[in-house]
Structure 1
């Protein structure tokens, strides 16, 4: 994984978020689809508008396992821009496919001097469209202060729609997951929970399954001969976050009647922060969304996403950084399954505070990372 051991040069100035803001509206943030081959310096892009030489970029395989595994990512720097092409400083580590179920995106990595999100204000990831979005990522060579909120909660994989006798032929959609887009099926979809299937008989109702991530999601309830959505057991990402994924989405519920059952919850998105110092008294969240309540059966919950912090000093507060699961939707008859916990990794020379889930002990110190931060700025 090609990584810049540094915090940027501050060329994008001071970022102050004083009103609720979508990440893709922040000056300097550009996001588009892309593809490229391992060992090459050319990255083919859907739209080169807004990219320029000298920008740092994040490239990530957001969905699918063709060539690069879902969650493979790397950082790089643009040397030049031409129509449909970014020429990069470092050859690509991975081969990235961007077609069908395989979706890869590239976004600029702004280089702030300081970063501030004010109290009561939320900086939100753009909504994952099925091809791009769902990620907040930046560098800051000074202080990052979060008294408000940075949120990618519910911005990951998209929850499955419910099915009834008037829509979906009594079959809920599986949640979008690591292997592909959602579809009307009972089977799990990689990290996406399966959709419920009901019979054309009275009181046949089934909840959707929760999405998976660091663990499996759970299965919902079923009655009247219906089949609950299949459990999502695919584990995505890893503890080191060298593979970093969205949370798997929950599956949609189903019912025999025209009463609409609950949709599945979205998975959590991704937040990446490289900052000299980080102080959090507000929150950083990549939580999964809850499955939707229904007067029939509930949808499955989305799983938590991913948070990666690299810094010299990190003051985190008490569980203010979260990547937790969404719960299954409550149904009058049957409930949906819960999503799974996401992943948090903090690499810093000095860490104070806790996260939910807990960051791995290996994150403390950062080893070579700490010794490099003060001197390497690329």
Structure 2
């Protein structure tokens, strides 16, 4: 029996095939929620639950808290989206204005999963998750899968506002058309703005630190990806790090004493800075809240992270006021959908809210959120907007208005020729009553606008790739190549990912003919291996290819003779039966001094042999092409006896041609004597 080599001996011992993680293979969904028409304003179509325990990569279940949103919560077979909104680690220094690239960060990360079963506090998945997710910063969102989805002009869809654990997110799929005559809207449903809390005392002056104790010295900051440690949602009180002019990542800084403006939230563009302190009582110092920073999804030319990340707009910072002031505007939420086609004149909006106006310091505007719309065919619609919110105005002379909110992120894909207008701009700051105030002799009084970022537009239809075909090694085949090339076909010029025994072994792009080839970089262990290939286009994947299983075999078989003459035989047609240590082998034979080995069947007859000695050599070749290195050799002699002279037997022993060696030797001597006698009689 063949002994398989241990995987540890310079081999890639990949083990048995594991379940493929839940890559984005859902395309436009399965349509199991059917056609739906929305005619009511403010309709919520999603359900939400917080993730209450950390999720490791490859997790197959999710512990959840209380569900909210649509009446239908979660059910077996539902598609869900797992999304981490916040919890950036490490938390950047308060007031840092360095843009943050989240392309390789858990924040903004999302993936689909499908539910195998549902319990009150646990969801079990059909496939393991790809990524890890933090507890209490991550939510699970039920994603409806429609056929045709219609929003009438009296209707709109929205989401509950983000509350620190869930909400702020619209997501659906439609494998037919989306007809939008109304509004799809998450404006102001993202990260929360800093809530205004009155200072209650007008004695504080000269505040300038990024973290100032509130409410006397500093107003509250807006919320962002830095998380709960830098944001205070409570109606009263102050927590360290949640007040002062320093922004917390894309969450804007609050204003400080005396009567400066709050900063604007950031996302695709940075938020603007809040206006200066009170000119008459605090010398008009440049101490407005700092804007939230830009959140980058990496370089679009070299990274597909802009297809794989979604972020809420940062909240604006609150303005400073003794008795009244403006709260920061909330950032925009997220709109996510895919469809076969988009029609109608309705709008899609995920903009930030404007900052609160006040007779004292104005609040900063919230940043625009994120919009992800991918359409297979053409798209017609009204405006698709993720703009920053306007900074809050100050209804006084030379008192700080709020900074403008930064732009959000917009991803839009459809065939050319559509009519959708894409808007991702920052907004203007608020103003105050002196139209010629320093430093720019205008009403902004030092408050600045939010930054703008261009929309990401793919000017071709959303592609749902078909599964590749694996050609070699052929399914069911055997090979003695420990690094066999894996070849196949897929859509031309398409990236293909090849998995061997559940582990990725290579990524390659098909050529113009749709061909690909990947060679393992380590030796494979002897035994069975399974190849699966997927095609990947623009961060979505095909379903798995048909599994292709082959066997690596580098051990030659042992050859034997099961039956055949051992020393002597009277037959001239000599039959052999060959055997080997493996199944499915082929045999090669050579008789006597033949020049070459030739194919022979497991049961083979050498016909019309001459009298005298003969030698048969045979070796087995297994299904992988391994050849027995030492052929089996059988020597025998054909001796034809004269049965009319010998009678039925000699000394009571059989003369039937069986290979009893002593009898055969005696027969040989007797025949030789008879021949000599006949020869003497003829002379």
TM-score by length of 2: 0.50
C-alpha distance in structure 2 between counterparts of 1:55 and 1:193, whole Å = 37
C-alpha distance in structure 2 between counterparts of 1:285 and 1:134, whole Å = 12
**What SS does the corresponding residue of 2:123 show, helix, strand or coil?**
strand
Determine which of 314, 333, 352 is the counterpart of 2:418.
352
Quote how far apart the aligned CAs of 1:377 are: 8.8
Q: Does 1:4 align with 2:25?
A: yes
Change (3 A) 1:180 1:134: same
Q: Is the 8 A contact 1:163 1:169 kept in 2?
A: no
Quote how far apart the aligned CAs of 1:339 are: 0.7
C-alpha distance in structure 2 between counterparts of 1:145 and 1:362, whole Å = 21
Change (3 A) 1:350 1:312: farther
C-alpha distance in structure 2 between counterparts of 1:298 and 1:50, whole Å = 40
**What SS does the corresponding residue of 2:253 show, helix, strand or coil?**
coil
> Could you report, residue by residue, the CA deviation over 1:298-357 in whole angstroms, capped at 9, with x for unpaired residues?
100001011111221242345x11101101101122211001110111123455123113
Change (3 A) 1:94 1:66: farther
Quote how far apart the aligned CAs of 1:83 are: 4.7
Structure 2, gaps ≥5 residues long = 1-21, 91-104, 201-213, 232-241, 301-305, 425-453, 467-490, 492-534, 545-683
Q: Paired residue for 1:126?
A: 160
**Aligned pairs, how many?**
362
Q: Paired residue for 2:121?
A: 84
C-alpha distance in structure 2 between counterparts of 1:158 and 1:301, whole Å = 11
Quote how far apart the aligned CAs of 1:69 are: 2.2
Change (3 A) 1:350 1:9: farther
C-alpha distance in structure 1 between counterparts of 2:334 and 2:61, whole Å = 25
Q: Paired residue for 1:230?
A: 290
Q: Is the 8 A contact 1:208 1:229 kept in 2?
A: yes
Determine which of 185, 195, 207 is the counterpart of 2:261.
207
Change (3 A) 1:356 1:13: same
Q: Paired residue for 1:17?
A: 38
Q: Does 1:157 align with 2:191?
A: yes
Change (3 A) 1:335 1:20: same
Q: Which has the larger radius of gyration?
A: 2
Greater relative contact order (CA < 8 Å, ≥ 6 in sequence): 1
Q: Paired residue for 2:391?
A: 328
Q: Is the 8 A contact 2:378 2:461 kept in 1?
A: no
Quote how far apart the aligned CAs of 1:36 are: 1.4
C-alpha distance in structure 2 between counterparts of 1:336 and 1:280, whole Å = 36
Q: Is the 8 A contact 2:332 2:352 kept in 1?
A: yes
Quote how far apart the aligned CAs of 1:73 are: 0.5
Q: Paired residue for 2:146?
A: 112
Change (3 A) 1:314 1:156: farther
Determine which of 305, 330, 334 is the counterpart of 1:266.
330
Q: Does 1:337 align with 2:403?
A: yes
Quote how far apart the aligned CAs of 1:70 are: 1.4
Quote how far apart the aligned CAs of 1:71 are: 0.6
Please say which of residues 46-55 and 238-247 is displaced more in the overlay.
46-55
Change (3 A) 1:113 1:377: farther
Structure 1, gaps ≥5 residues long = 199-203
> Could you report, residue by residue, the CA deviation over 1:23-43 in whole angstroms, capped at 9, with x for unpaired residues?
1xx3xx321011411122222
Q: Paired residue for 1:201?
A: none
RMSD: 2.6
Determine which of 364, 371, 377 is the counterpart of 1:307.
371
TM-score by length of 1: 0.88
Please say which of residues 228-237 and 280-289 is displaced more in the overlay.
228-237
C-alpha distance in structure 2 between counterparts of 1:294 and 1:78, whole Å = 48
Q: Paired residue for 2:78?
A: 55
Q: Is the 8 A contact 1:156 1:269 kept in 2?
A: yes
Change (3 A) 1:50 1:137: same
Determine which of 35, 42, 58 is the counterpart of 1:39.
58
Q: Is the 8 A contact 2:377 2:461 kept in 1?
A: no
